[in-house]
Amino acid sequence: MRHRFPIIATLTAVSLLLGGSARADDGEDEVTLKNGGTIRGTVVSSEPGESVKIIELGAKEVRVVPWAQVSDVERGKFAPKSAPQPGPAGPGYGAAPPPKPIPAPEPALGAPGVVRLHVESPQPVRVVTEGATTYGAVRGYGFAIQEIKHVCASPCDKVIDGTDGRRFSLASEEVPPPDPFTFAQMTGDVTLHVDPGSYGRRTAASWLNILGLTAAVTGGTLWFVSSIGTDVDSDSSNDDGGGALKTVGIVSLIGGGAALAGGIVLWATSGTSVTLEQRGEKPAGKAAQVKPRYWLGEF
């Protein structure tokens, strides 16, 4: 029996040491005093208006702090912070990516309207086609805007799908565009022969038409006025003035008519023309022309 007390005392001392060590490490709370000081430890109780009981960090005994000295009590201020957990995935994260659009298959040769086009032109040209048409109205006036899409540049050598009857044309900064054409009922290898027009001849034709029309109208007016004057003064012996005016009018009318005719011919020959030739066949002559759509501003 005499050995039992020391053993119990030893176990009690170890238990107190372990308990005190646990409390010493458990300083997660903080009490702020009104004098600016702080007490870190474990708050046992907090009774507003009376006191705060706290076991200070490293101490074993409970310390009682009168409420009149306390400015703030913050529990868990020094508690270990848990690692932030990721929130739910936002739009575009975690989900499978959208499938890539499947490109439209390239038109296959053999169907009517599908051709492999080769362009032969002494001037660089671009093959273009019509896109969507946008219609609208502004202040009571309607309008239509035709989208033009690039197809290829000479010499092209590209498979073109014209099965839907779409219209094609040429675009160039050096030659006037030809009338639209189609590849309807054609297939296989097709060569587009381009006979370039001339903006210079077209400009000259415009001036000839303007000058010729002006001269013809002026000459016709002079001839008409001189004719009326001659009829009124038929009894007069001196009609040299009327005769000279009539002569000028006739000359101006004839010259203006000739200039106008030359301008029309020059304009007609200043445009660009195209012919389509299917390999293995004779040239098809002029490409299939399409009537202009006047409501879209085509003339």
How do residues 167-226 score in pLDDT, each as one tens digit? 888 888 888 888 888 888 888 889 989 888 877 777 887 887 898 789 888 877 877 777
- What's the distance, CA 9 to chain centroid? 89
What stretch of H or E contains 135?
strand 126-138
Residue 231, exposed/middle/buried by CB under 10 A (0-12, 13-18, 19+)? exposed
User: Rounded CA gap, 172 and 142, in Å?
Assistant: 29
User: Rounded CA gap, 170 and 127, in Å?
Assistant: 5
Min mean pLDDT across 117-131, 142-156, 223-237, 261-275 is at: 223-237
4-74, what's its fold? SH3 type barrels. (2.30.30)
C-alpha distances out from residue 46 to 28, 41, 52, 70, 108, Å: 15, 13, 5, 10, 87
Mean pLDDT of 107-122: 84
Q: Show me where the domains of the chain are located.
A: 4-74, 114-197+279-296, 200-268
Residue 70 · residue 30 · CB < 8 Å: no
Determine the pLDDT at residue 218. Answer: 86
pLDDT band per the 50, 70, 90 thresholds, residue 104: low
